[in-house]
Structure 1
């Protein structure tokens, strides 16, 4: 069990106050997500020019957000941002003291976060001859996505064919520095909830709807974005509200 939290940004000229408010909502979601993963915390952002910042540490979220480096990462975002991802890790495989095992993970040009376990990751790494730098199975998911983003237009059909080879649990959020205006949200057999706001041109997400309800209790204009299991949402920075849905599949399996 891990916690996912983040903001997906549509194109908009936001004032600093609005950017700061969205970052504050994100920070609150991240801290609440500590209950889903106390062993490590990480964040990353990506902008439409392909620039990114990534910061992660083997500490719980409540401690993580007090780190000066965390504040510097958030302060580095501007109106070019397309995605802000956060992750609270519950260690299963891979020592959290080795930071490359923590999330967000960068694999090639893809940056993402994953909740779940891919039980046949070792075999698929060998079968598909994929590069590997970490111990965690989650890296496989982002290596597969990186293959799909090598084309002029992301090859989602290839990505879905590769996902169908995986066995376990998958819910994830990811994007590529090659195509930073496209954000993929995959809800498989692990929880994920979203809220979207037309005026902010932004979507918030978290693993637990209670976290979103708590953070947005005094906010107006955020509406639920229903998302069924085994669904991929494709958000585009230029027109966030015109997202598309794709079905995908894999070999869903609970804990061994």
Structure 2
């Protein structure tokens, strides 16, 4: 989403900040700005629009300094105006921020009551005021920064200047990525290695909870408990900066960990975080009486999750078809339906052919894609980008959760437009959706436990995945991921189908992975668990804290994911099944990022 750069330098900083921000344009943005210390006083230059607008401002009003921070903003809280553009300044503090401060409204009310005056609509300005108020108590910059971080909820990356501290930058990571670059008498902070590429190839990747004090002499890094820690410095070849894996062994692992930020970016494109309302445009949901989704593979599964939510919330019929089969069964198509093509690349041949078949039948068309210049996007009436950024691993992870995020936003928008929910319920559902990035990050925190399970799953020849409701679709996704990258035969089923055949496969050598958050389907899923165990099946039960309390005794392993509203449970439960497949593949020594016989984009039928 937003791009961050910070430089403690020995050369003029303004042009260097802008140069780095240009390398972050791929993340998407609608305003930009930089701030620096000029003779001990904070100054900033900001502009809505593209970086050329900021360059015009700087041409008329240069910023002469050697230490500064910069930012490209994707609007979340507040419109893309100069007043809402970063950096934000309050008293002695200038801050840039990627992420969402979930408790900003509560903190803002507290700060206003204390006499603070705000000049923007953003959640970010709260951080500046909060840190300035901590400094006013006499705390050192580092201690004040830690006190501020302890009060923030949400996923965020921060980069901070403090007036009077002319050669210091403070930074912190809690979810969105942030890296430290090491130069010769200079230090750099950036959203990723690409931002730091013009300045250094020696990079330290921060871990969640880390915060940093950077000076000319180096970077002191502290973990979430406040303990100073050592993080590895990696040398990144210049040619690999665009597509390097950071601290991760494989791109797939990195992309799993990218999902909190990726979903945040997606969600921000389809909701107004100030009003808690959806901003989906391009379709009148009252003018259609059916939705036809065509897709392949993981995109097809994302569409199935969307079907559950759209039909439940909006009372709008949804058909989800495997694109490669769609045209050949002579489907009954009507012009008063909406055709949605889902494809990460936007070039999937089967999906494109099915989509064109719908368009030829006179249907209104929409594309849910990552590549907005792709063929499917160009031929659609409406394009709903998923905004997840480049996905290198062949097995889709962050594109899947981004697609599901779009489907959730569509479900809420359709329900509101069709009068199935009122404004209060829309606000509640949007607020739930905004919680997803944080909860996904918490689910990723189960990785160590899933590694242990993976060592056992890797010994199996067959694996079954079961779920009900949206979890039945996620069971298909779990099985698909395991098949794709570990080459273990796996099948996903709606748990209610267990007694109609699949139970014959249950034995002590076949792990059965049951996805069962504590929802309206939980009791039936728990019954299926008991049926499996009665036949000697080895159950891995993936649930939430309440589900763990009510789970029947006897599961080989119970994995407790964060509690979440049913609206977003498929997003939160995705990370465990992805990580499980990933670590099984690693144990087996498979080529995780480029599994045999598969391609990232299938452009032939």
**Shorter chain as normaliser: what TM range?**
0.7 to 0.9
Which residue pairs with 2:109 in the alignment?
126
Q: Which residue of 2 aligns with 1:16?
A: none
Q: Does residue 414 of structure 2 align to residue 229 of structure 1?
A: no
CA distance in 2 between partners of 1:46 and 1:155 (Å)? 16
Shift of 1:55: 0.8
Answer whether contact 2:24 2:194 (CA < 8 A) is retained: no
**Equivalent residues of 1:106, 1:142 under 8 A apart:** yes
1:15 paired residue number = none
Equivalent residue, structure 2, for 1:167: 153
Name the residue aligned to 2:28. Answer: 37
Contact 1:169 1:254 in 2 (8 A): no
Q: Give secondary structure in 1 for the equivalent of 2:101.
A: coil
C-alpha distance in 1 between matches for 2:91 and 2:69: 17
Match status 1:187 vs 2:173: yes
Superposition pairs of residues 199-238 of structure 1, within 5 angstroms? 201-213=185-197, 215-216=198-199, 222-236=201-215
CA distance in 2, matches of 1:182, 1:204: 11
* Match among 246, 253, 256 for residue 222 of structure 2: 246
Contact map agreement 1:36 1:89 (CA 8 A) in 2: no
Is 2:132 the partner of 1:146? yes
Q: By how many angstroms is 1:109 displaced? A: 1.7
Cα deviation, residue 119, structure 1:
1.2
* Secondary structure of the structure 2 residue equivalent to 1:31: helix
Q: Secondary structure at the match of 1:126?
A: helix
SS in 1 for 2:46: strand
Moved more, 30-39 or 137-146: 30-39
SS at match of 1:225: strand
Show the 5 A alignment for 1:1-16.
1-9=1-9
Matching residue of 1:56 = 46
Q: Which of 89, 103, 106 is the matching residue for 2:86?
A: 103
Instruction: Give the match for residue 19 of structure 2.
Output: 28
Deviation at 1:253, TM superposition (A): 1.8
CA distance in 1, matches of 2:28, 2:208: 22
Task: Write the deviation string for residues 131-162 of structure 1: whole angstroms up to 9, x where unpaired.
Answer: 22221001111112112333666254344234
State whether residues 111 and 142 of structure 1, in contact with CA within 8 Å, keep that contact through their aligned partners in structure 2. yes
**Which whole-Å deviations, capped at 9, do the CAs of 1:203-233 have from their partners, x for residues lacking one?**
23321223433x35xxxx6422342221111
Deviation of 1:189 after TM superposition, in Å, equals 1.2
> Unmatched 5+ residue regions in structure 2?
226-434, 441-567, 569-605
In structure 2, the CA distance between the partners of 1:242 and 1:152, relative to structure 1 (3 Å rule), is farther
Can you list the C-alpha shifts for 1:161-217, whole angstroms capped at 9, x where unaligned? 34223211121111211433432111221111221112xx1123321223433x35x
Residues 102-141 of structure 1: CA deviation (Å, up to 9, x unaligned): 1011112211111111011011222353522221001111
Shift of the alpha carbon at 1:8? 1.5
| TM-score, structure 1 as length reference | 0.77
Distance 1:24 1:106, change over 3 A: closer
SS of residue in 1 equivalent to 2:83 = helix
1:68-107 equivalences under 5 Å are 69-71=57-59, 75-78=62-65, 81=66, 83-97=67-81, 99-107=82-90
Distance change in 2, residues 1:206/1:156 (3 Å): closer
Q: Any idea what SS the aligned residue of 2:80 has? A: coil
Distance 1:178 1:205, change over 3 A: closer
Bigger proportion of residues as helix: 2
Alpha-carbon distance in structure 1 between the residues aligned to 2:53 and 2:27: 15
Q: Hey, what's the Cα distance between the residues in 2 that align with 1:28 and 1:211?
A: 9
Q: Secondary structure at the match of 1:70?
A: helix
| DSSP-derived class of the 2:129 partner | helix
**Structure 2 residue matching 1:116: 3-state secondary structure:** strand
| SS class of match (2:180) | strand
**1-structure distance, mates of 2:143, 2:43:** 29
- Contact 2:36–2:42 (CA<8 Å) still a contact in 1? yes
Aligned partner of residue 133 in structure 1, secondary structure = coil
Larger Rg: 2
